[in-house]
């Protein structure tokens, strides 16, 4: 039987506010335990929440970026459950009247195809603290610094049909929130966390299968792996005559599997009700218009512009527009050298490779966009050849010079385009290689093209890589063929 | 709505309240009367009436996104039964 996978995602995004959603405690990452947990965050008696205007603005910005309806009135509810990292005994969330209503996000797949994924809603809520289960004499340690950090929970419709689509959706959300600057999007630090709802159904069947919710899926790679495992598990289960139960499962990246946490029967009953400590949040049109006017150019718009106006391929445009830092770096390189295709190649190739090797983000690149742009200009105006350009790049990376021009001068990499100089080198190489010349002369004409490589290599070596390769090729062929 | 003792037990469990057998039967009676009153309210025609999230006719005031709290960990932890390395210690919880 053919099976179809149905996936929906709940993405929790930590909003990059300075203070918490309902208190004036700092949200900075990495502080000493409990030094950023105030009376409100601790749920001490009498402490009252006051909503952070920036958290509201960020939620609205996200909503506008995904073409969503923004609720004129939204309401906070209490989600009641007991856990030590939630000292109030409830999480303040938005169950019935979320701030962001239905919207949509365009995802781009590897083959360049695009698909619209609908967003069901997004709501504001507070994060919980952290439980540390290491050895505290059989006790659990609680750090409440994270308690009260604003979260935007973005709930998709079950519109994804493969692990790849789910990963592309997560990347699209990541792009949008980092473009907007409403989150640092750092998945390793938990700034973006993801729960995945997965079910399977026979291809062609309209009704959804029973779904499992997978928690703890906290990287783009894990999303694909967790879904791949879960889909296989469900299909095997059904084909063996069993049935999927609605349950919460935990993804274990070390063992590459999902494990049952709790089934629906034991599911929590959260007894939501409107939070009496918080009044309805009312937003007017002028406020929304103001926020709309502040929106930056978003990834989808950039992608389109890179493709249509700068002539980049769909693939290049997609990769470069995915991160705002990379897109802006690329644009600065392009402004400097004027060649979009070359700029894209260098940013994605040499630069990204070097950054990955040293585990650096593009924002911390040792080479500035201006330096890279100037380097590309020197290739474009034939001052240096491609090989020398890589050497200049490396030198700039290592901080061996301020500009490409300095390094070209210092290392004597200026391309030799003087025909006379190149001819002299060729003559020398031919004189030094009688055996190879004889071989060339004696071989079939169609094989000579390949054999010329040896001579090109020798001439390039003699010029210490500075000769113009096209010229060397042309002149060599002339001279060798003259010997036939 | 007919309330049964199992409902009371479940509600008590969710709220982490210890309820004895004697108390449970009493709660069944008390809560049933409250639910009867809710049933009475339910019979009202609320067509076209917007749900009321709060009795006050006011909207939420917002505060500026500024850090206004300083570290008062020592003060707060003075009333905690057990702390270590700045962490609050609680009976082990493993889900």
Q: Are residues A338 and A397 in the same domain?
A: yes
**Nearest chain A alpha carbon to B67:** A24
- A122 and A160 assigned to the same domain: yes
Q: Does residue A49 fall inside a structural domain?
A: yes
Q: Does B66 touch chain A (CB under 8 A)?
A: yes
Are A246 and A388 found together in one domain? Answer: no
Residue ranges with strand state E in A244-301: 247-252, 257-263, 273-274, 281-282
Say yes or no: A43 contacts chain B, CB-CB below 8 A.
Answer: no
- Chosen for mutation from A139, A148, A150, A272 (greatest number of chain B CBs closer than 10 Å) is A139
Residues A23 and A82 in one domain: yes
Whether residue B19 is contained in a domain is answered as yes
With respect to residue B51, please indicate whether it lies within any of the assigned structural domains: no
Residues composing chain A:
484
A297 falls within a domain: no
Flag whether B37 is in a domain. yes
Residue A174 within any structural domain of the chain: yes
Q: Using the predicted structure, report yes or no on whether residue B95 has a pLDDT greater than 70.
A: no
Residues 6+ apart with CB under 8 A from B15: none
User: Tell me, what CATH number does B11's domain have?
Assistant: 1.10.20
* Same structural domain, A348 and A212: no
If asked whether residues A173 and A269 sit together in one domain, one would say yes
Q: Would A396 be classed as within a structural domain?
A: yes
Contacts of A141 in chain B (CB under 8 A): 84-85, 87-89
pLDDT in tens, chain A (484 residues): 899 999 999 999 999 999 999 999 999 988 999 999 999 999 999 999 999 999 999 999 999 999 999 999 999 999 999 889 999 999 999 999 999 999 999 998 888 789 999 999 999 999 999 998 877 888 999 999 999 999 999 999 999 999 999 999 999 999 999 999 999 999 988 999 999 999 999 999 999 999 999 987 888 899 999 999 999 999 999 999 999 989 899 998 888 888 888 765 566 789 999 999 999 999 999 999 999 999 999 999 999 999 999 999 988 999 999 899 999 999 999 999 999 999 999 999 999 999 999 999 999 999 999 999 999 999 999 889 888 899 999 999 999 989 999 999 888 888 777 888 888 888 888 888 888 888 888 888 787 778 888 888 888 888 888 888 888 888 888 888 887 7
The answer to whether residue B23 is domain-embedded is yes
Helices of type H across A140-269:
163-180, 220-239
Residue A399 to residues A108, A257, A394, A466, B31, Cα–Cα distance (Å):
37, 45, 9, 22, 76
Phi, psi of A312 (to 5 degrees): -75, 155
Task: Confirm whether A301 is domain-assigned.
Answer: no
In this complex, is the C-beta atom of B94 within 8 Å of any C-beta atom belonging to chain A? yes
Sign of torsion over alpha carbons A318, A322, A326, A327: positive
In a domain, B34, yes or no: yes
- Across the interface, whether the CB atoms of A24 and B63 are under 8 A apart is answered yes
- List the 324-343 stretch of A: residues with Cβ below 8 A of B: none
The verdict on residue B24 lying in a domain is: yes
The domain boundary, picked from A363, A387, A411, lies at: A411
Contacts A282 to B, Cβ<8 Å:
59-60
Number of domains in chain B: 1
Dist CA A324 CA A79 (whole Å): 35
B54/A280 touch (CB, cutoff 8 Å), yes or no: yes
Cα dihedral A224, A225, A230, A232 in deg (nearest 10): 100
Number of domains in chain A: 3
Residues A406, A423 within the same domain? no
DSSP A313-362: -HHHHHHHHTSHHHHHHHHHHHHHH--HHHHHHHIIIIIHHHHHHTT--G
Q: Assess if residue B82 is contained within a domain.
A: no
A242 and A190 both lie in a single domain: yes
Window 23-62 of B, Cβ < 8 Å to A: 51, 53-54, 56, 58-62
Q: Which residue range(s) make up the domain with B19?
A: 5-42
Mutate to test the interface with B, among A20, A24, A96, A291 (most CBs of B within 10 A): A24
> Is the minimum CB–CB distance between A221 and chain B shorter than 8 Å?
no
DSSP code at position A245: P
Q: What is the CATH number of the domain that holds A432?
A: 1.10.10.410
CB-nearest partner of B92 from A38, A138, A276: A138
Q: What is the pLDDT of residues B41-83, one digit of tens each?
A: 999 999 998 877 788 888 999 999 999 999 999 999 999 999 9
* A90-93 vs A103-108, strand pairing mode: unpaired
At A418 the pLDDT is 80
Of A19, A51, A142, the CB nearest to B90: A142
Query: In this structure, are A260 and A312 located in the same domain?
Result: no
CB contact under 8 A, A280 and B60: yes
Residue ranges making up the domain that contains A356:
308-411
Q: Which pTM value belongs to this model? A: 0.84
Residues A347 and A440 reside in one and the same domain: no
Residue B60 in domain = no
* CA-wise closest residue to A55 among A17, A107, A27: A17
Task: Determine which of B18, B62, B88 to mutate to test the interface with A (most A C-beta atoms within 10 Å).
Answer: B88
ipTM (interface pTM):
0.89
A465 and A335 part of one domain:
no
Reference A228, options A286, A318, A165; nearest CA is A165
Together in a domain, A381 and A423:
no
Rounded CA separation A111/A166 (Å): 15
């Amino acid at each position: 039987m053919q099976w179809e996978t149905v996936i929906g995602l709940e993405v929790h995004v930590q909003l990059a506010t300075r203070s918490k959603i309902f208190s004036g405690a700092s949200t900075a990452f990495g502080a000493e335990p409990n030094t950023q947990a105030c009376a409100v965050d601790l749920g001490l008696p009498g402490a009252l929440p006051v909503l952070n205007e920036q958290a509201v603005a960020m939620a609205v910005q996200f909503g506008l970026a995904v073409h969503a309806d923004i609720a004129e009135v939204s309401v906070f509810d209490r989600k009641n459950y007991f856990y030590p990292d939630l000292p109030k005994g409830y999480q303040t969330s938005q169950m019935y009247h979320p701030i962001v209503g239905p919207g949509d996000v365009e995802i781009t797949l590897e083959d360049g195809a695009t698909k619209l994924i609908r967003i069901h809603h997004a709501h504001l809520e507070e994060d919980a603290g952290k439980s540390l289960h290491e050895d505290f004499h059989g006790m659990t340690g609680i750090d409440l610094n994270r308690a009260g950090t604003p979260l935007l929970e973005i709930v998709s419709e079950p519109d994804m049909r493969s692990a790849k689509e789910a990963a592309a959706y997560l990347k699209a959300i990541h792009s949008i929130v980092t473009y907007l600057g409403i989150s640092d999007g750092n998945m390793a630090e938990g700034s973006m966390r993801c729960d995945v709802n997965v079910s399977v159904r026979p291809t062609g069947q309209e009704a959804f299968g029973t779904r499992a919710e997978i928690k703890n899926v906290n990287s783009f790679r894990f999303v694909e792996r967790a879904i791949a495992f879960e889909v296989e598990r469900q299909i095997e289960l059904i084909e063996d005559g069993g049935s999927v139960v609605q349950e919460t499962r935990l993804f274990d990246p070390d063992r590459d599997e999902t494990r049952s946490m709790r089934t629906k029967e034991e599911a929590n009953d959260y007894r939501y009700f409107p939070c009496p400590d918080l009044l309805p949040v009312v937003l007017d049109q002028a406020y929304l218009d103001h926020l709309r006017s502040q929106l930056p150019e978003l990834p989808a718009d950039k992608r389109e512009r890179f493709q249509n106006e700068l002539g980049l391929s769909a693939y290049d445009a997609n990769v470069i527009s995915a991160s705002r830092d990379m897109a802006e770096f690329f644009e600065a390189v392009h402004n400097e050298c004027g060649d979009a295709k070359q700029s894209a190649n260098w940013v994605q190739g040499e630069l990204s490779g070097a950054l990955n090797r040293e585990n650096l983000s593009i924002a911390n690149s040792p080479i500035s966009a201006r330096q890279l742009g100037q380097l590309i200009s020197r290739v474009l105006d034939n001052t240096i050849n491609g090989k020398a350009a890589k050497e200049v790049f490396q030198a700039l990376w290592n901080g061996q010079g301020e500009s490409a021009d300095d390094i070209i001068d210092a290392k004597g990499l200026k391309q030799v385009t003087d025909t006379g100089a190149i001819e002299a080198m060729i003559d020398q190489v031919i004189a030094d290689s009688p055996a190879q010349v004889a071989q060339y002369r004696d071989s079939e004409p169609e094989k000579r093209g390949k054999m010329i490589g040896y001579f090109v290599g020798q001439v390039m070596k003699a010029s210490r890589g500075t000769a113009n390769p096209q010229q060397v090729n042309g002149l060599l062929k002339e001279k060798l063929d003259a010997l036939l | 709505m007919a309330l049964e003792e199992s409902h009371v037990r479940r509600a008590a469990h969710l709220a982490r309240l210890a309820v004895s057998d004697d108390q449970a039967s009493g709660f069944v009676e008390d809560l049933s009367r409250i639910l009867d009153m809710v049933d009475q309210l339910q019979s009202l025609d609320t067509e076209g009436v917007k749900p009321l999230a709060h009795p006050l006719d006011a909207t939420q005031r917002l505060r500026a996104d500024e850090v206004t709290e300083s570290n008062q960990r020592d003060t707060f932890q003075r009333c905690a039964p057990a702390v270590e390395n700045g962490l609050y210690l609680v009976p082990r919880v493993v889900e």
